[in-house]
Structure 1
Amino acid sequence: VVTRFAPSPTGFMHLGALRTSLFNYLFARKNGGKFHLRIEDTDQKRLVPGSVEQIQNTLKWASLNYDPITLQDGTVIDHAVQSQRNEIYQYYVQQLLDNGYAYKCYCTEERLEEVRSVRGPSKYDRHCLYLSEEEKPKEASYTIRMKIPDNIQYTVFEDKVYGKIKIENKIVDDQVLMKSDGTPTYHLANVIDDHLMKVSHIIRGQEWISSTPKHCILYDMFGWERPTFSHLPLLCNEDGSKLSKRQGHASVDYYVNMGYLPEALTNFVALLGWHPGTNDEIFTLEELVKNFDLEKINKGNCKVDLLKLEWINSQHIRTKIEKDMDQFLEILRPHLQQKSIKEDEYLRKIVYIGRERIKRVPDFVDFFDYFF
């Protein structure tokens, strides 16, 4: 078993991204497999400086340790970065061109806009597929599109969460695989890297279901075995609206800064779409590994209930105080320094008394006012 977390470094890490990384980690560890990190930065215009470090720091904070990757030449790297692998994508897209599975598209943005204005936001009209050699512009720049097969009516794949999914090929677009600047699109780089990294199970958000037929077709074109797909349900606010990146509580940083424990947030996120099959709700990371099962992921959207997170966090605080006071005092230290409170036996007694009442670590600051 090999899984991967493949984020784009376009800003803060979303709560949904933490869940995706967690489920990939749990499945790999449960099955004695590998869990890799790959940075998908092919869209250079959307990059936000510092995002890669932020992703790595968040995974470290949550104890989701990823495994190094061994490349084809035997080199071992910490994690993969797509912008450093362009030669590989060029090699494989040439294979598709040579085998008639892809073609060059010389259409300008103006022409594509014109086609969309007439046909609506539908499929590309394959204008360039039918150009003769004489009609092809000699100096013009071009993109490379995949040629969705006409001779196969449907693309069918099995999803571990949503079951059998069947898509008519006639509604699948001839996706651009290589941009005019010679860099790959997400779809090409994603499939090539998953194959070369020997990824056996792809666990990702529900929003990628519509792209999966294109990915399946690419696997088939290359003659590669398809991985197993599992798509995770959407995260929603309590009113049912989608949890948007624009909302503060969609960011993992929000929960870090609010004083939630990493083990509490991973516990909470695990229960967004996955059910252990029992009434248990408090889990350590080790217990999540032991209990995790793709078959127990729900199809329905998941509401992010912050009151439930507070309760889960309070249970983890209580357990940590009872089992490892020294470790908890380390977490508490910045708040102690803020109040100029000494770490002595009296403090330990006060912390122990407070374990039943505190929901977040910073709450101790107000609690201490009664005693110091």
Structure 2
Amino acid sequence: MGGQFLLRIEDTDKARSTDEHTRVILDGLSWLGLDWDEEPVFQGARLARHQELADRLLAEGKAYMEEGAIRFRLPPGEIAWDDAVHGRISFQGEDIKDFVILRSDRTPIYNFAVVVDDIDMRITHVLRGDDHISNTPKQIALYRALGAALPVFGHVPMINGPDGKKLSKRHGATAVGDYQHMGILPAAMRNFLALLGWSPGGDREIMTQDEMIQLFSFDGIQQKSAIFDMTKLEWMNGQYLSATSAEDLYPLVAPQLERLGVNGNRDAVLKAIVAVKTRSRTTIDVARQVAVRLDAKFVQLDDKAKQAIANDPAGYKASLEASLAALAATEWTASALEQRLRALAEERGVTAGKVFQPIRIALTGGTVSEPVNELLYVVGKEGALKRLEQATTALR
């Protein structure tokens, strides 16, 4: 659609609009990679302009004084617009009470301030939550009273939690920036948010920002409420992690490794990131899995691993002992390790999985990982053999 992206901080409610709240907004947009085209406009700094136009409406008889406040005189008749999402919406002026536009302390209310600011900023499209539909006839009446052309109004569906109720703090993180600290990539978050209430058509879900811009149309906006599904967000984030290079992930993972107390060198960390990123949902997952591969102290048997050992402890131990002996003299490359382990399975008359899984459990504490030959390579010969030996000793 082209155009410009302008940012306005609506800070007329001084009790709620602190510098900290403003910083959360600016940091969140910056993290998402949504860059505004001009300097942000602070609504509170435009008080004189709001007062000027309220006084003009008063002088023209379109508003009146009541208990020190200026109240807008809402004209009778139909107030209608063609909503970009819902189609034609109509109200009757007689059903809407006259409303205050300037309080007795000479500060504007929301419905008046946004109209004045939108006119002065030459806003052409007002897209917002459909909980604002009831505000729109009041604002349209103000546009008309001020002699200004109407923008295109479009009311998008609300975002609900998994329980179908309006998204709130009880559903978890609600500020965009919170998800940065949960290990979500900004590109994944952008993609996920764009699909809340909008679809490009078909089953397409993973899109770059440029692709979303090209594909966007009002026709794709849905009218029903969208559901914020954290599981879906983590799945999408996993897709982006898989497609992101280890080099690009390193700056995000390294600080988390430092907090965990892992002191792996850059090359070792990069090698581990490559191995685990396709099975991770967040950068926190990546860091945890990297930590397991670089430092044995992070190996903790999960319930499935414990059950696998309990099903056949003697077989588990015997397999590890055989693998330990076979691997000691094996060249430490992924291909050579795979060949040796498959040969070992043939020698023992068992499937390759019977050899691979005990090694996986001993090295990671879990039953799911990258291919075992790659896992061994990432952990390194000295570390891997030591873990295998410790695992066999633990069963004695």
Tell me which residue corresponds to 1:177: 101
Contact kept, 8 Å, 1:177 with 1:184, in 2: the verdict is yes
Map 1:102-117 onto structure 2 (within 5 A). Answer: 102-106=63-67
Q: 1 CA distance for matches of 2:56 and 2:249?
A: 56
Contact 2:80/2:89 (8 A) holds in 1:
yes
User: Which residue in 1 is equivalent to 2:178?
Assistant: 254
Structure label with greater radius of gyration: 2
Q: Is the 8 A contact 2:102 2:109 kept in 1?
A: yes
How far has the Cα of 1:300 moved from its partner?
0.2
Aligned partner of 2:249: which letter? F
**Distance apart, 1:349 and its partner CA:** 2.2
Q: 1:146 aligns with which of 56, 60, 72?
A: 72
> Hey, what does 1:119 align to over in structure 2?
none
**What is the deviation of 1:345?**
3.1
Equivalent residue runs for 1:155-166 within 5 Å: 155-166=79-90
Alpha carbons 1:245, 1:251 under 8 Å: kept: no
Is the 1:238–1:305 contact (alpha carbons within 8 Å) kept by the matching residues of 2? Answer: yes
Q: Does residue 272 of structure 1 match 2:233?
A: no
Residue correspondences, number: 293
- Contact 1:161–1:230 (CA under 8 A) maintained in structure 2: yes
Query: What is the CA RMSD across the aligned residues, in angstroms?
Result: 1.4
In the alignment, which of 84, 97, 108 is matched to residue 58 of structure 2?
97
Identify the residue that residue 131 of structure 1 maps to in structure 2: none
1:48 partnered with 2:18: yes
| Cα deviation, residue 331, structure 1 | 1.4
**Residue type at the aligned position of 1:281:** E
Say whether 1:365 aligns with 2:287: yes
CA contact (8 A) 1:233 1:299 kept: yes
Seen in structure 2, the aligned counterparts of structure 1 residues 245 and 143 have a Cα distance that, compared at 3 Å, is: farther
Q: Does residue 85 of structure 1 match 2:7?
A: no
Distance 1:357 1:247 in 2: 26
Amino acid at match of 1:336: L
Structure 2 counterpart of 1:80, one-letter code: V
Between 205-214 and 94-103, the greater mean CA deviation after superposition: 94-103
1:249 counterpart SS class: coil
Cα deviations across residues 223-263 of structure 1 (Å, max 9, x unaligned)? 11000001110111112111124543323233122111111
CA distance in 2, matches of 1:39, 1:369: 42
1:92–1:241 Cα change, 3 Å: same
Alpha carbons of structure 1 residues 41 and 329: separation in structure 2 relative to 1, 3 Å: same
Which of 335, 348, 351 is matched with 2:256 structurally?
335
Q: Is residue 63 of structure 1 aligned with residue 63 of structure 2?
A: no
State the distance in 2 between where 1:263 and 1:343 align: 27
Aligned-partner residue type, residue 102 of structure 1: A
C-alpha distance in 2 between matches for 1:67 and 1:224: 24
Cα displacement string for residues 41-60 of structure 1 (whole angstroms, at most 9, x for unaligned residues): 11223323411111111110
CA contact (8 A) 1:39 1:79 kept: yes
The whole-number CA distance in structure 1 between the counterparts of 2:270 and 2:254 is: 12
Distance 1:245 1:175, change over 3 A: farther
Match of 1:130 in 2: none
Cα shift at 1:329: 0.8
User: Residue 248 of structure 1 contacts residue 254 of structure 1 at CA under 8 Å; is this kept in 2?
Assistant: no
Q: Following TM superposition, by how much is the alpha carbon of 1:195 offset from its aligned partner in structure 2, in angstroms?
A: 0.5
My pick for the range that moved more, 85-94 or 177-186, is 85-94
Counterpart Cα distance in 1 of 2:292 and 2:148: 66
Q: Any residues of structure 2 matched to 1:172-321 within 5 Å, and which?
A: 172-321=96-245
- After TM superposition, the score normalised by the length of structure 1 is 0.76
Matched residue of 1:230: which SS?
Answer: strand
Note the alpha carbon deviations across 1:57-110, whole angstroms, 9 max, x for none.
Answer: 111000000011xxxxxxxxx11111111111111112111211100012xxxx
Letter in structure 1 aligned against 2:41: A
Deviation digits for residues 29-49 of structure 1 (CA, Å, limit 9, x no counterpart): xx2311111111112233234
Contact 2:129–2:155 at 8 Å: present in 1 too?
A: yes
What one-letter code is carried by the residue in structure 1 that aligns with 2:185? L
Structure number with higher relative contact order (C-alpha < 8 Å, ≥ 6 residues apart):
1
Any stretches of 5+ residues in structure 2 without a counterpart?
295-396
CA contact (8 A) 2:247 2:270 kept: no
The answer to whether the 8 Å contact 2:158/2:225 transfers is yes
Q: Which residue number in structure 1 is paired with residue 274 of structure 2?
A: 352
Paired residue secondary structure (1:35) = coil
Q: State the one-letter code of the partner of 1:266.
A: R
Q: Where do 5+ consecutive residues of structure 1 fail to align?
A: 1-30, 69-77, 107-141
Deviating beyond 6 angstroms after TM superposition, the runs of 4 or more aligned structure 1 residues are none
Q: CA deviation at 1:341?
A: 3.0
TM-score by length of 2: 0.71
User: Displacement of 1:348 after TM fit?
Assistant: 2.1
